């Protein structure tokens, strides 16, 4: 039984590794299940055994990339002086990471189109989007921003980040646009800061 579970886990890992590389470099539309199976060095039937559709493979890859991105964001934000500065640093890292290469292709370019906005937001809420309400609550606890209902403020700020991410995804100069939106987000967050 343990060997079967190990084989299953190894097959899943091979599928996701291959799909992540292909989706990241070529995009969802240009990638086929045959190519995923070939890159994973398994039979196409094995891919379909674990994932009924290419969209299901993509969703698993999207979740994995989102989780990895949050680890990077946490690392970038950890060095900041307070939670508001950490929010800004984390968002800057989010824009920088999604402005280039495979992460941007999966998270911003293909994510909303393949998953639909509702599912994209649900998955994001488990990762990057879920961090914002906790950070805002911590900022209130620390006396950095005025106490108020957390959810509305978190949704407004997350809406700003999401809209900026979508705007960046549609631009040819995505890195420059991401830097501009990150600066604007810093202004929004700093405007919330209580002055002593």
pLDDT at 176 over 90: no
Question: Which tens digits make up the pLDDT trace of 180-195?
Answer: 888 999 999 999 999 8
The β-bridge partners of 145 are 193
Using CA atoms, how far apart are residues 175 and 173, in angstroms rounded to an integer? Answer: 6
Q: What is the mean pLDDT of the chain?
A: 90
The β-bridge partners of 193 are 145
pLDDT at 171 over 80: no
Question: Which tens digits make up the pLDDT trace of 26-40?
Answer: 999 999 999 999 999
Q: What is the largest distance, in Å, between two alpha-carbon atoms of the chain?
A: 64
Using CA atoms, how far apart are residues 77 and 86, in angstroms rounded to an integer? Answer: 4
Question: For the chain, first and last CA: distance in Å?
Answer: 63
pLDDT at 65 over 80: yes
Using CA atoms, how far apart are residues 154 and 83, in angstroms rounded to an integer? Answer: 14
Question: Which tens digits make up the pLDDT trace of 89-138?
Answer: 998 888 888 877 899 899 988 998 999 989 998 999 899 888 899 999 99
Say which range, 6-10, 28-32, 71-75, 183-187, has the weakest mean pLDDT: 6-10
Using CA atoms, how far apart are residues 194 and 196, in angstroms rounded to an integer? Answer: 6
Question: Measured between alpha carbons, how far is residue 101 from residues 125, 169, 170, 175, 182 in Å?
Answer: 23, 12, 14, 11, 18
Q: Which of 83, 106, 78, 98 is nearest to 157 (CA)?
A: 83
CB 82 within 8 A of CB 91: no
CB 49 within 8 A of CB 91: no
Instruction: Give the chain's count of helices (H) and strands (E).
Output: 11, 0
CB 73 within 8 A of CB 103: no
């Amino acid at each position: 039984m343990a060997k079967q579970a190990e084989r299953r886990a190894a097959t899943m890992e091979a599928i996701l590794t291959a799909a992540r590389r292909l989706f990241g470099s070529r995009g969802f539309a240009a990638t086929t299940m045959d190519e995923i199976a070939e890159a994973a060095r398994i039979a196409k039937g094995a891919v379909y055994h674990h994932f009924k559709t290419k969209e299901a493979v993509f969703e698993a890859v999207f979740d994995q990339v989102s989780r990895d991105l949050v680890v990077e964001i946490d690392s970038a934000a950890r060095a900041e002086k307070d939670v508001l500065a950490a929010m800004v640093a984390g968002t800057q890292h989010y824009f920088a990471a999604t402005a280039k290469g495979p992460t941007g292709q999966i998270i911003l370019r293909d994510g909303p189109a393949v998953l639909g906005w509702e599912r994209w937001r649900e998955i994001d809420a488990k990762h990057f989007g879920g961090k914002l309400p906790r950070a805002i609550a911590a900022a209130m606890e620390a006396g950095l921003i005025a106490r108020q209902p957390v959810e509305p403020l978190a949704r407004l700020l997350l809406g700003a980040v999401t809209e900026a991410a979508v705007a960046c995804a549609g631009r040819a100069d995505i890195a420059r646009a991401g830097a501009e939106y990150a600066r604007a987000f810093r202004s929004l967050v700093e405007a919330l800061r209580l002055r002593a």
